[in-house]
Amino acid sequence: MMDGVIIIDKPAGKTSHDVVSEVKKILGVKKAGHTGTLDPMVTGVLPVCLNEATKLAGFLTGEDKEYLATMLLGVKTDTLDIEGKIISQSDNFVTEEEIRAAMAQMVGTIKQVPPAYSAVKHCGKPLYKWARKGVLLEMEPREVKIHSIVIEDISFPHVTFRVVCSKGTYIRTLCSDVGDLLGLGACLCSLRRLKSGYFSEEMAVSLNNYEDNNKKNKLLEKILPMAELLPLLTTIELEDHSAAKLLNGWQPSVEMMKEHDLPFLKAGDMVKFISSSGYLLAVAEMVAPVNKFSEFDGKRQAAKIVRVFNNFSK
């Protein structure tokens, strides 16, 4: 069975759900899901989790993202992007210095109001479904973090820039807010996701570049094994007998953990367990700090298993 993550270079014009459905059909897998919705107009990195790897989706969605965006100054739309209905236009000119100053104000921890046309839910229904019925709901501002903005090109009224940001950041809203600061409005013109956490566009495969009979083989070549995911977590390799115990509900003890050469880990840190044959067995949260192991009874629980993966025997 295929367990892992494949990075799709999402084309414009398709929903993230469309892409997942196409991957499922090509590979013949029962379970698949993406780790963060991209709007239909957006291209780029879309991680798709397959089978057991769908259990990892929650660990992957919280990572930072990097985008290449182009905004159009002087045009405001109801969707905050170029595909929406124009609600105002301005012919006013602003200087390059004014543009750079306005964008610099966006860097750091800021608050954003989710767009009316977005997947954020209200009463269990996405905002875009309310908006399509003519109900425009004003949501509470949400805190996001913009780590950096690098302006690549200013060809007024277009501004192209790279942005690294936290999860939940709306680049459409970022463009609109910059336009408001400049007093002439703005909307998102184009957007490409370059990175989603560990995953980059260099890892991505396009669904459009291959004949149908070659797509499956190409996708199979690009599947990232589960053990390679979450690369920042400390990896603990278990022998088969310990792996079997873990999959049967055993919680790692101080005695077992002391057998491994571990870096300093404090309570709350996450670790991953792999088998000697390279399968990801589980993800766990430390409940005892490593520097206190010598003070604890060996039978004391050292880590709490938070997710187990049933791919050990495959």
* Residue 125 banded pLDDT, cuts 50, 70, 90: low
Residue 54 has pLDDT above 60, yes or no: yes
pLDDT at 106: 97
Whether a cis peptide bond, with omega within 30° of 0, leads into 157 is yes
- CB-based contacts of 261, cutoff 8 Å, min separation 6: none
* Other beta carbons within 10 Å of 181: 17
Q: Start-end ranges of CATH 3.30.2350.10 in the chain?
A: 4-63+198-227, 65-196
* Residue 19 banded pLDDT, cuts 50, 70, 90: very high
Residue 112 has pLDDT above 60, yes or no: yes
- CB-based contacts of 129, cutoff 8 Å, min separation 6: none
229: nearest Cα among 35, 65, 37, 18: 35
- Mean pLDDT over residues 114-132, rounded? 54
Residue 128 has pLDDT above 60, yes or no: no
Higher model confidence: residue 127 or residue 98? 98
Parallel/antiparallel/unpaired status of strands 43-50 and 4-10: antiparallel
Superfamily (CATH) of domain 233-308: PUA domain (2.30.130.10)
**Which tokens belong to 307?**
């997710």
147 — phi, psi (to 5°)?
-75, -40
Give dist(CA 281, CA 285) in Å, integer: 14
In this structure, of 95-104, 137-146, 270-279, the range with the lowest mean pLDDT score is 137-146
254: nearest Cα among 305, 306, 289: 289
Catalytic member of 9, 39, 81, 177 = 39
Parallel/antiparallel/unpaired status of strands 270-275 and 234-238: parallel
Class of 4-63+198-227 in CATH:
alpha beta
pLDDT at 203: 95
Whether a cis peptide bond, with omega within 30° of 0, leads into 115 is no
Bridge partners (DSSP) of residue 224 are 5
**Which tokens belong to 283?**
């993800």
Q: What Rg do the C-alpha atoms of the chain give, in angstroms?
A: 23
pLDDT at 314: 43
SS3 assignment, position 152? strand
Q: Are 185 and 88 in contact (CB under 8 A)?
A: yes
Residue 192 has pLDDT above 90, yes or no: yes
Q: Start-end ranges of CATH 2.30.130.10 in the chain?
A: 233-308
Residue 121 has pLDDT above 70, yes or no: no
pTM of the model: 0.88
Q: What does pLDDT average to over the chain? A: 88
Q: Which helix (H) or strand (E) holds 182?
A: helix 171-182
Q: Any catalytic annotation for residue 39?
A: yes
The one-letter amino acid code at 221 reads E
Residue 61 has pLDDT above 90, yes or no: no
Q: Considering all CA atoms of the chain, what is the largest pairwise distance in Å, rounded to the nearest integer?
A: 73
Return the residue matching tokens 């100053």: 101
Q: Note the Cα 127 to chain centre separation in Å.
A: 20
**DSSP per-residue codes, 211-271:** -HHHHHHHHHHHPEEGGGSSTTSEEEEE-HHHHHHHHTTPPPBHHHHTTS------TT-EE
pLDDT at 311: 63
Per residue in 294-307, pLDDT (tens digit) is: 888 988 999 999 99
Residue 213 has pLDDT above 90, yes or no: no
Residue 47 has pLDDT above 90, yes or no: yes
Residue 227 has pLDDT above 50, yes or no: yes
Classify domain 65-196 by CATH number: 3.30.2350.10
pLDDT at 18: 93
